[in-house]
Structure formats: C-alpha cells, structure tokens
Amino acid sequence: MPPAPPSAPETVTLTPTGDKLSKHFTEKEFACKCQARAPWIEPHKQVLPPKELVDVLEDLRGWFGKPVVVHSGYRCPTYNKHVGGASRSMHMKAIAADITVVGHTPDEVSAYLLKKYAGKYGIGRYNTFTHIDVRGGPDRWDNRR
C-alpha cells in the first residue's frame, strides 16, 4: 500500500482495501460512506487522506490512549451535498475527518487539538464530534448548540 503523498492527496484514487495507513488506521475508515447511506450515488473511486491527517489522528490516539473513531473522512461531491456539507468542504479533498475519541467528550478532543495545533489546520467544534482538517492556514469555528 503506497502512502498518500501529503502534497497531493487528491491525485490518489485507490479503491479502499483493508490496508493500514498507519498503526491504528485503515483505508476503509476514510472512505466515502455514500454506498452505505445513499446507494443511489454512482460508485466511485476513493481519495485517501494525506499522511499529515493520519499523523494528527495518531497523535490524538497516543495522547488519549483510546481509539479514535472516524465518522466522516472523504466525501464525494454528491454525498457531501447530500449530508449538507459546506460547498467547499475539506472532506471533498480528503484532508478532513470528523472524529470522536472513545471515552472522551468532543470538548476534551477539541481543547487538545486547539492547543497542540495552534495557528494551523481547520478545527471545528460540534456537540457530538470534532472536525479536523490539515489545510494550510488556520480556520476555527464553533457549531455547538
């Protein structure tokens, strides 16, 4: 399994396998969920996450010592629209993940990310999960209700 080049993740189009991307993460965890949740969408190849994103999730895994659950990784444009994602969502570039950490609240997770990655990445706070993406410049938002 060739690792995704961090500079150009969008050029990597592999059908996901059970292959590992890192010690704790597999390709399948980042695959678009359209075929399971919106099967009317035409099947498509997947775009794998860049190593930089996987490294951040491994960092979280190590810090909390608990599994990190990826609820949404790559989204094809049609599925992104279906779930009400932003029109320029980083999920469509496969550089974003909506995550939770088993046994920890989203507030704990976002607090760690905001401190550790101050001044970089996209970090979004939600009631039930945390969004992280590895875009260059910092972006922050709080969608908690």
Interface with Zn ion by CB under 5 A: which residues?
A: 32, 34, 76, 79
Residue closer to Zn ion (CB basis): 70 or 76: 76
CB of residue 62 to Zn ion, shortest distance in Å: 30
CB nearer to Zn ion: pick between 31 and 56: 31
Q: For Zn ion, which is the closer residue by CB, 30 or 79? A: 79
- Considering the complex, what minimum distance in angstroms separates the CB of residue 98 from Zn ion? 15
Q: How far apart are CA 92 and CA 76, in angstroms?
A: 6
Token pair for 87: 């029109």
Contact 52, 5 (CB under 8 A): no
For residue 83, the minimal CB distance to Zn ion (Å) is 10
CA distances from 96 to 39, 42, 50, 75 (A): 22, 22, 9, 9
